Structure 1
């Protein structure tokens, strides 16, 4: 916010301006006026993500450590993958993988290796998971069963006023939900869409899981949303639901069409597909029905970026994905 230096104004007016400035500046978030995270390189001298500018005394209102939020560059692919879950295309051998996932709450090392990778083209956002699992199990088979009670992997894609939640288990069963911050619900036109209307029995108020004091307050969740054109597949390197042998891993391959992200992108009019160097907030996590034995501090939820709280619904804690036009 631009600072004003009134000259010759009454003292009470100066005081009022000062109070307004303080109220507008006291809480730090990483979604700016455009909804995109602040860009350190393109906005030299301004406050960026994770690296506060000199003299920055704004309060950070979120549970994660803003200095350690993960960053990743998503490169373009010239040949789209076949969405079969096998991850055997050459592109997946060239594209950098994430660091090993850490405990969602503590940030500690986890017992099994989990990694993700991202690439894109003009049509789709592509995401892959490599999930080490010695005993691969699943039980849920219906769309929007509570997949989080199976072993699963999850993706959250955030916009300025919304975010989308995706989950998949090793059967390939999906869970989807779409969340809208209450303060943007009517002004963003979400109330006019039957998928998000409060009269829809699959639309409910939502206040987070473990972080119930988010500065933006309440949000509405729609469990009637289906991501248009989504492709997903799972491949098992082992034998599912047979604990008499030892499995290796399961892999997940996803394609999210950019045109299906209209409701994510509309609040800040972000480009679909992204422009070169655009930045998005996308979360990647894994949840298990088991925990490693003590003294390990295993919470059963692991993620690319620790949230430092048992809650995936904190967009400000999502990794920062930069989309590059470079191909590998």
Structure 2
């Protein structure tokens, strides 16, 4: 049985090199995007419509590129990040001419629908989040095996050795030299807020939609678990740099000769695997306010 319980189904045929022959990291380190996330003065009320003045002034990412080929994509996808002392806020703008979804149960395999995803990495662990256009979410928490005991993750509620839905995880399309991770499919980010808005008619293929948007608020108090064994704090200090991955996965691909793996991301990994923190976008936190000129 293939355990691809994250937003990627194993597709080794999409890589021209074997797992063993790919250098580490597989991405071009000098091409990894860097982004400055500014602070906001007032909390954002999430309704799935990132049309507030804050989001209009916040800098958006570049258009997502193909996860493997680092090429342009057929539809536009962008993201933006802002923060305050309580929450990390993320917004996605997804162009989608035919918005579809089928899964409605929490922690369903959302990667089997069209979705957007967010990964937030610490030194020894990382959090994965997925959402479809219905607003159905999927969460997993991963801890590198070499740090699981030494950093006390085994003592954290819901992350113990006998935790329900704890599994070994060695990646999807890339063999990471750090080795095994423990994945916890029973773990939820406490206090997470999400909202989705569809600009069109979902699951109605006889018209043309414009797309969908997503707003997320992740509490720093819950993300604090990712600061273990590092000098980072939650909320972050001015100048702190985190690694985060922003991606979109589609159940369709653009026709050949276009190179379309079906996975698009802010930062290309050059392999069919989202689970490579060394390829995540650099997010630097600034205490300057978005409202400032």
> TM-score when scaled to structure 2?
0.90
Counterparts in 2 of 1:194 and 1:229: CA distance versus 1, 3 Å: closer
- With a CA cutoff of 8 Å and minimum separation of 6, indicate the structure with the bigger relative contact order: 2
Counterpart in the other structure of 2:139? 176
Deviations 1:193-227 (A, max 9, x none): 34112312310000000112x12111100011110
Q: What's the offset of the Cα at 1:163?
A: 0.2
Aligned with 1:206 (options 157, 166, 169): 169
Q: Distance in 1 between matches of 2:182 and 2:284?
A: 28
Aligned with 1:119 (options 82, 95, 100): 82
1:135-150 equivalences under 5 Å are: 135-150=98-113
Aligned with 1:291 (options 253, 256, 259): 253
Q: Distance in 2 between matches of 1:98 and 1:308?
A: 19
Counterpart in the other structure of 1:236? 198
Q: Distance in 2 between matches of 1:261 and 1:67?
A: 27
Count of aligned positions: 269
Q: Distance in 1 between matches of 2:49 and 2:281?
A: 25
Aligned with 1:306 (options 260, 264, 268): 268
Bigger radius of gyration among the two:
1
Where 1:281 maps in the other structure, the secondary structure is strand
Matched, 1:260 2:219: no
Q: Is the CA contact (8 Å cut-off) linking 2:224 and 2:233 kept in structure 1?
A: no
Counterpart in the other structure of 2:3? none
Q: Distance in 1 between matches of 2:191 and 2:160?
A: 22
1:25-40 equivalences under 5 Å are: none
Deviation larger for 63-72 or 191-200: 191-200
1:67-216 equivalences under 5 Å are: 67-212=30-175, 214-216=176-178
Gaps of 5+ in 2: 1-22
